[in-house]
Structure 1
């Protein structure tokens, strides 16, 4: 297959094959491939007239066909899209907009005023109005001619260790290299119906969007509200006859935790692919019992390598005493396990850092050359020519089988509720509040809780309300505790583990 220079060709090819096939189902209705393509052309023409080519476009829309049309329409205009949660705190939104520079902003009729208030002086384009603009074939062709496979297609912001989010820029070529392999390995077809769980600003959604477009399948956009109604969620999936679920572990656990899974339910589902964190065995078993004939796959990979680099097909007969493996690498990339001296780990039982190389490695962090230089580096095993790799910071153990098992983080970055969080960002948000002299948070892995500890005079009861202006819901702690002083480790740094042991010992009650 010829390499793709633009991921819009997935949509265009599937439209040519079957223009009347259903591309998207959302709360408003169904949309064919022909309609989706036409919508992207209207949006792209309007954005091109606004000078979008070569720049970035912030998309602040509720998950819908309209949002998808604006994202892909941005690509039609020769720009890269930046999906941002409509509920993002103002401080965070302003930082992301400043990082992007002269980005255009697209919002909906219902939230445009709120976005204008959050970004004073910024022109906000209305998505519904963009759809009504005429298609300018010449402008679209000109934009396409300037787009290369190495150009960014999207930017997604992740938590940053300096207390500010980092924007990961991912190219057209990186998406294509992953999606082509993803589709090949798991055999998706035009008959599939993908149940999209993840928000568009979470890179799990990239697999749904481009996986379905690549084969001409249907993308079913599951309303966010249903994840607070487990029974209604399962009913919705059945009503829409979904066949593929590419979900975060936290989302799968919602259904299994509330015991709405039972044999005979969700019988149209043939594949469940999960990622984001280690799935608890009891939750996995509940899903396996519910879907005895479905294939379950554990996926691994950070945003910086474009979705995933490792996969493991769950063996229903295996006990996995050492933990569910991350598996083996996809064919488009290579995953290295390097020890502290950057030597390749080849002996089973040893730990190392996961380092990824290949065409799906991201371009880097937007406007942050220092962070880019720390994580996107020359392959330490290759001193002969330029060979860029991404250091994930994740530790893994090599098993006798050749598989890899996740063994934690090198630093203070964690996975919480399916989101990647760096503890320092939470620390900084609290330390910026009045009355907080120092803050350190810690992840209580046993209870799956994020705990905050602080020194100072601030009112503990008032802090959750104050920090809500800075931190998104996924980064807010389960508990806030004032301490007289922070325990230190032998290196003179605050010992986060000791904080947990002192204030939340193993035998303490959950409600503490």
Structure 2
């Protein structure tokens, strides 16, 4: 039985040593070379340091060396914490203050930043330890003490409060999820996986470990290309990408600017998307351009190891009621809980989406109070201890038992005396012909409801059409067209930035 994700790398390097494991804009590395480099760097980290089950932040630009650093930390007995290289220094300081690490790994370009973050710690530059003599005996001794419930990584997520929480995920969770994920979607060593997500975002976990599991190649796309759709498509087509597991907003970037009219990545076997609801017009544009490609709607928060639900798009289905998040992955179970903690089984009744199974994370790093709020005892089980995770997302079953996402519990607002779901309003606005995408935000203090959208529809015309479509109380106070949406570093629409934009416009007029 596999207990450690490093076994994925070791098995594949033994089976196809010369196969290319990873490509970045600077070069490539085979599985054998990746294994050799990580064991060498791991030997350096393990020598004279006590890193067993300790967090190790990694501050590197997305590159092959990032992967080497991650796996080296695992060989040394610790678990890695990817750090966003573009976040404000104060945000990085907060994360370091939570972790209290003894060392930090960085690349040469970020050595000074790393020293500022950890002035009294050990700053290790990854490029300088790749040729360390391998200490196989030391690495074997460390491995013999590891178990499958030990942490493999921590990713920080801010949640609705803005306070960062470090989600701790175990080896077993990654191993079991990736095994099912690659089998269901048929990923194998002939695939090239285009990595869009930042490495501190858990979407990248699917790319990284699918490659280690199957022998596929991971293509690490430079972040700068996501502001240049033409160059991005050139890069994807040049490398004959066969798989894209991307954030919705990244796909919409290409379709908004009609990139698929310029060039079609026709080697794509599958496109899997998550993070937000995919606007139907954008999905239709992709599916029209790629008639033989499989499209999959994924759902799942960071706390449950990547995803817990999936739905393979049926090209012959109309999806008049929206696209479901589908059904649970094997070895995971989905519950809908009422506000009273009762299990919902009947169709069309909204409840909070909760998840149990081996994918559920270990909790939040050094935050037992917050962990206890959302990692709870299954209220349907009074016989033995069974942890489930409360996602804070709302959903419902249709008559066929499929699960539909209905938005965040904290996206429900009270407006004009009525209860309103912001994401439901967004979908209704997107149904209007020339609107591509919509995002609604609510200023509770004002109170004002703002609708931002991309598309060709004029603002005045859109308001007229909304008057014919919606009750008066449901029409946003302010409607504004944007050339594109501001995005978070994880590729989701930045609702906080849109809310701030609405408040600024109000103050400017006041």
Q: State the TM-score, normalized to the length of structure 1.
A: 0.82
CA distance in 2, matches of 1:325, 1:195: 25
Contact 2:54 2:101 in 1 (8 A): yes
Corresponding residue to 1:447 among 449, 453, 457: 453
Residue aligned with 1:477, SS: helix
CA distance in 2, matches of 1:443, 1:143: 56
Q: State how 1:220-369 maps to structure 2 within 5 Å.
A: 220-262=219-261, 265-369=264-368
Q: State how 1:51-450 maps to structure 2 within 5 Å.
A: 51-262=50-261, 265-411=264-410, 447=453
Partner of 2:479: none
1:474: how far off?
Answer: 5.5
Contact 2:148 2:171 in 1 (8 A): yes
If asked which structure has higher relative contact order (CA below 8 Å, sep 6+), I would say: 1
Contact 1:58 1:103 in 2 (8 A): no
Do the aligned partners of residues 228 and 372 (structure 1) sit closer, same or farther apart at CA in structure 2, a change above 3 Å counting?
Answer: same
Do the aligned partners of residues 232 and 161 (structure 1) sit closer, same or farther apart at CA in structure 2, a change above 3 Å counting?
Answer: closer
CA distance in 2, matches of 1:412, 1:46: 48
Partner of 1:14: 12
- Whose helix proportion is higher, 1 or 2? 2
Corresponding residue to 2:25 among 24, 27, 30: 27
Residue aligned with 1:411, SS: helix
Residue aligned with 1:318, SS: coil
Partner of 2:417: none
Residue aligned with 2:87, SS: coil
Do the aligned partners of residues 228 and 298 (structure 1) sit closer, same or farther apart at CA in structure 2, a change above 3 Å counting?
Answer: same
Residue 478 (structure 1) aligned with residue 477 (structure 2): no
CA distance in 1, matches of 2:300, 2:60: 26
CA distance in 2, matches of 1:193, 1:314: 22
1:409-443 CA deviation, whole Å, 9 max, x = no partner?
A: 12259999xxxxxx99xx9xxxxxxxxxx989999
CA distance in 2, matches of 1:192, 1:300: 23
- Note the residue ranges of structure 1 that are not aligned, 5 or more in a row: 417-422, 428-437, 449-467, 484-499, 505-510
1:473: how far off?
Answer: 11
1:199-235 CA deviation, whole Å, 9 max, x = no partner?
A: 1000000000001110011111111111111011111
Partner of 1:456: none
CA distance in 2, matches of 1:402, 1:216: 35
1:391: how far off?
Answer: 0.4
1:118: how far off?
Answer: 3.6
1:30: how far off?
Answer: 1.4
Contact 2:174 2:305 in 1 (8 A): yes
1:8-56 CA deviation, whole Å, 9 max, x = no partner?
A: 1111111111100010011111110000011110111111113322211
CA distance in 2, matches of 1:357, 1:442: 38
CA distance in 2, matches of 1:125, 1:442: 50
Contact 2:104 2:118 in 1 (8 A): no
Segment drifting more, 262-271 vs 301-310 = 262-271
Residue aligned with 2:348, SS: coil
Do the aligned partners of residues 21 and 394 (structure 1) sit closer, same or farther apart at CA in structure 2, a change above 3 Å counting?
Answer: same
Residue aligned with 1:219, SS: strand
1:317: how far off?
Answer: 1.9
Q: State the TM-score, normalized to the length of structure 2.
A: 0.82
1:120: how far off?
Answer: 3.1
Segment drifting more, 18-27 vs 161-170 = 161-170
| Corresponding residue pairs, total | 447
